[in-house]
Amino acid sequence: MKGALIGCGFFAQNQLHAWRDIDGVEIVALCDQDAGRLAQSAADFNITRTHADAAEMFAVGGFDFVDIATTVPSHLPLVKMAAEAGVHIICQKPFADNLADARAMVAAADAAQKTLMVHENFRWQSAIQAALYVVKSGSIGDPFFGRFSFRSGYDVFSGQPYLAEGARFIIEDLGIHILDIARAFLGDADRIAATTKRVNPNIKGEDVATMLLTHAGGATSVVDCSYATRRTPETFPETLLEIDGTEGTARLDAGYQLSVTGKETHSVDVNPPVLSWAEKPWHNIQESVLTIQQHFVDCVAKGRAPQTSGADNLQTLALVEAAYLSAAEGRTVRLSEH
| pLDDT at residue number 148 | 98
Where a domain ends, among 114, 136, 167? 114
Cα separation, 195 vs 330, in Å, equals: 8
- The confidence score (pLDDT) of residue 193 equals 98
Same domain, 101 and 244: no
Distance CA 138, CA 111 (A): 38
Q: Do residues 133 and 68 share a domain?
A: no
Q: Which amino acid is at 46?
A: N
- The pTM assigned to this predicted structure is 0.95
Say yes or no: 178 and 321 in one domain. yes
Say yes or no: 255 and 128 in one domain: yes
Q: Read out DSSP for 31-43?
A: E-S-HHHHHHHHH
Kindly state whether residue 95 falls inside one of the protein's structural domains.
Answer: yes
Residue that finishes a domain, picked among 58, 88, 114: 114
Pairwise CA distance, residues 161 & 58, whole Å:
30
Backbone CA torsion sign across 148, 153, 157, 159: negative
Count of domains observed in the chain: 2
Return the CATH number at 131.
3.30.360.10
Is 110 in the same domain as 157?
Answer: no
93 and 130 together in one domain:
no
Successive 10-residue mean pLDDT values, the chain, 338 residues? 97 97 98 98 98 98 98 96 98 94 98 98 97 96 98 92 93 96 98 98 97 97 97 94 97 97 90 96 96 98 97 97 98 94
Which residue in 231, 250, 229, 251 sits closest to 240, CA to CA? 251
Select from 63, 92, 114 the last residue of a domain: 114
Q: Is residue 285 part of a domain?
A: no
Q: Please provide residue 65's backbone torsions phi and psi, each rounded to the nearest 5 degrees.
A: -145, 160
Q: Are residues 60 and 187 in the same domain?
A: no
Domain that holds residue 133: 123-277+310-337
Q: Are both 36 and 184 inside the same structural domain?
A: no
Residue 49: the pLDDT is 98
- Domain identity same for 96 and 135: no
Q: Which residue(s) pair with 309 in the sheet?
A: 117
pLDDT score, position 162: 87
**Strand order, beta sheet including 266-269:** 266-269, 257-261, 248-253, 240-245, 143-151, 220-226, 208-215, 189-197, 333-334
Based on the fold, state whether residues 174 and 273 are members of the same structural domain: yes
77 and 134 co-located in one domain: no
Neighbours of 304 (CB within 10 A): 11
In a domain, 303, yes or no: no
Q: Residue 212's pLDDT is what?
A: 98
Closest CA to 301 of 15, 109, 24, 12: 24
Do 108 and 195 have their domain in common?
no
**Would 35 be classed as within a structural domain?**
yes
